[in-house]
Structure 1
Amino acid sequence: MATPASISPTIVETLYHDAIDLAEEARSVFDLSGRLDAVSANAGLSRVALSCEALRTTTRMMHAIAWLLNHRAYFAGELSEFQLRRHGRLPPAQPESDPEQLAMLDREVRELIGRTRAFYARIARLDNAWRESYTMHPSAIHRLRERLGNAVSGL
């Protein structure tokens, strides 16, 4: 498997602008004015479903934007590497949506939710790869000593 590319200022800037565009689209799609007359027959449940998904989606995007802003600050010299590793962690993904609630929403809303999930997953992969590069891995000598120790103790 190929080694993941390191995070560069160019990657962070590009993703930041993509995140802002996606968050703006989410804001306009979830704007409740004019949206509620397009909901299903059960208007009360549809409003709840729309509100829940709006909250999940905007939270997901704000977490991604915060992660990107921390990395921008690091590349601008405003955060140290230690501060970024300590405070720049991406929060866990939002819980999955209820399929019944999703079914009440317009196709456009469901597609937007899917795009924000994919974007968040992309940021999560970058975060994991970046954190993995700082994880201490035992050297070959330490692994060999451990295997020898296990073999000797098993005699």
Structure 2
Amino acid sequence: MSRKLIDSLYVEAMVMADEARGYFDAQADMDREALDIMVRVSFSCESLKVTTRLMHIIAWLLTQRAVLNGELHSTELSDPRHQLGDTARSDPGVVARFPFAARSLIEASQDLYDRVARLQGSMIANGEIMPMIPSSPARQLLDRLERSF
């Protein structure tokens, strides 16, 4: 994994998060007023999707940086909590009804998420992240019992 790639994606995600915060905190209120009530609800939902998407991306990139800095061992990347979280996709038909600035942010966040997801997929395919083999329910129950006593 290239430090330059991770760092550039991190900077991109942080800039986009700042742009999203700036837009949804200020300009979005004026843009929202021009929309009908159902589109306003969708608009609010999409702002949450953008924020969630960006936070998942940033968390994943921080994890990769921790591995590169030796703060986290690469074997821990197989833990689902260190992998890119799932996010809801935006409906292009709904997004098309939003103002240009909102559409741009939504589409850019989805594009960045897709690129990071492909990067993680490539790391899994190259063996850099070993998928966890889930233990059986019986083994999980025995492990819980052992931890309790």
Instruction: Work out whether the TM-score is over 0.5.
Output: yes
For 1:84, the equivalent position in structure 2 comes to 77
TM-score (norm 1): 0.73
Please identify which structure carries the higher helix content.
2
- Structure 1, unpaired ranges of 5+: 1-6, 137-155
Query: Are 2:53 and 2:87, in contact at CA under 8 Å, matched by a contact in 1?
Result: yes
Moved over 4 A (4+): none
Larger CA Rg, structure 1 vs 2: 1
3-state SS in 2 of match to 1:105: coil
Determine whether 1:123 maps to 2:116. yes
CA shift digits 1:82-123 (9 cap, x unpaired): 112224211234233262x32442111101111111111110
Mapped to 2, the partners of 1:37 and 1:27 lie a distance apart of: 15
Identity %: 34
Mapped to 1, the partners of 2:90 and 2:97 lie a distance apart of: 15
Residue 72 of structure 2 aligns with an amino acid whose one-letter code is: L
3-state SS in 2 of match to 1:35: helix
Determine whether 1:94 maps to 2:88. yes
- Structure 2, unpaired ranges of 5+: 131-149
Query: Are 1:57 and 1:116, in contact at CA under 8 Å, matched by a contact in 2?
Result: yes
Mapped to 1, the partners of 2:103 and 2:95 lie a distance apart of: 7
Distance 1:54 1:77, change over 3 A: same
Mapped to 2, the partners of 1:10 and 1:38 lie a distance apart of: 37
Mapped to 2, the partners of 1:115 and 1:70 lie a distance apart of: 22
1:29 paired residue among 23, 32, 45: 23
TM-score (norm 2): 0.76
For 2:40, the equivalent position in structure 1 comes to 47
Query: Are 1:61 and 1:120, in contact at CA under 8 Å, matched by a contact in 2?
Result: yes
